[in-house]
Amino acid sequence: MSTLLEVDGVSVSFDGFRAINNLSIQIGEPELRAVIGPNGAGKTTFMDIITGKTKPDEGRVTWGDKNISLLGMSESQIAMEGIGRKFQKPTVFEAQTVRENLAMALRNPRGPFSVLFYKKTKHGGARIEEIAAEVGLTDALTRQAGELSHGQKQWLEIGMLLAQDPRLLLVDEPAAGMTTQEREHTTDLLKRAAKTRAVVVVEHDMEFVRRLDCKVTVLHEGSVLAEGSLDHVTANQTVIDVYLGR
Ligand code: ADP
């Protein structure tokens, strides 16, 4: 596993309040990582920094084999580097079928050259079926997205992001509002997706994080409080105090 993303000594202040304080995190490729922390810990700001929505006051964010800095880039340039972000609420085209949604995502490649690669490699149909199978929506391909369950919409949106072939996928609280069965399916899906790319999951639900069975980073007051297996971080007394509230 090589390092794909390195956040190094990053700080961000909003009106004098340090939301991110000397934060350093490395994400490998491939890797599945869970980022947890209490409300206000800085999880959203962390994602905003990586995607270029928020520019840090200090520190470095380097990316990829050539260690290019993401800091001077616009949000769309960063997306084209292969960083996909899944927000909490599903945003799919409700009036279109699952197949049409995936076809649209495939027609909207993330980089100027991927159009060429797309034409040369697998054509729409085969790739759509492949992605549908990957996210477990094969039987729903002809259904209208608006008719899907909340969980299925989330998987469809993850599928649409996978169609863009990201090297890093940021996923914000995927388990929120899901049934136990849907959570299990989501865990499998994310684990599978993380076999060939970096997947960072920001999550509150401890049971869900346990099922992900991956390295966990605990944020607190804009810094890394603990990092390691879930058992390791939850054995840390400060983590228990600030996060678990016991
Ligand atoms: P989390 O996602 O872990 O709940 P956030 O990254 O949203 O945490 O927020 C971290 C801290 O920064 C919080 O105290 C929040 O109120 C503050 N914050 C975030 N964005 C802004 C902003 N645009 N202006 C002022 N304060 C902000």
> Which stretch of DSSP H or E encloses residue 155?
helix 150-162
Q: Which domain holds residue 246?
A: 1-82+166-246
Q: Residue 245: pLDDT above 80?
A: no
Please tell me the residue having the least CA distance from ligand 1 atom 7. 44
What value does the mean pLDDT take over residues 227-233? Answer: 97
Q: Give all strands (DSSP E) within the chain, no chain letters.
A: 2-14, 17-29, 31-36, 58-63, 68-69, 83-86, 168-172, 198-202, 215-220, 223-228
Instruction: Map residue 171 onto helix, strand or coil.
Output: strand
Interval between CA 131 and ligand 1 midpoint (Å): 34
pLDDT of res. 116: 43
Q: Could you tell me the distance, in angstroms and rounded to a whole number, from the CA of residue 56 to the centre of ligand 1?
A: 13
- The complex's ipTM works out to 0.97
Task: Indicate whether 5 and 59 sit together in one domain.
Answer: yes
Q: Which of 104, 132, 165 is the last residue of a domain?
A: 165
Q: Whose Cα sits closest to atom 17 in ligand 1?
A: 19
Phi, psi of 37 (to 5 degrees): 160, 155
pLDDT for 125 equals 83
Residue 89 lies in a domain: no
Kindly give the distance from the C-alpha atom of residue 106 to the centroid of ligand 1, in angstroms, as a whole number: 34
Is the Cβ–Cβ distance between 49 and 61 less than 8 Å?
yes
Question: H or E stretch including 129?
Answer: helix 124-135
Percent of the chain with pLDDT over 70: 92
Residue 90 lies in a domain: no
Instruction: Give the burial string for 213-229 (b: 16+ CB within 10 Å, else e).
Output: ebbbbbbbebbbbbbee
Domain boundary among 134, 165, 196: 165
Q: Please report the DSSP string for 26-58 in residue order.
A: EEEESEEEEEE--TTSSHHHHHHHHTTSS--SE
Q: Give pLDDT tens digits for 82-96.
A: 999 999 888 899 999
Inform me whether the pLDDT recorded for 115 exceeds 90.
Answer: no
State what percent of residues in the chain have pLDDT above 90: 81
The rounded distance, in Å, linking the Cα atoms of 112 and 36 is 35
Protein residue whose Cα sits closest to atom 25 of ligand 1: 14
Structure confidence by residue, pLDDT tens digits, 5-21: 999 999 999 999 999 99
3 DSSP β-pair partners: 28
The pTM score is 0.92
Q: What is the mean pLDDT of residues 147-162?
A: 96
- The answer on pLDDT for 113 being more than 70 is no
Q: What is the pLDDT of residues 71-81, one digit of tens each?
A: 989 999 999 99
> Does residue 2 have a pLDDT over 70?
yes
**Distance separating alpha carbons of residues 187 and 232, to the nearest angstrom:** 20
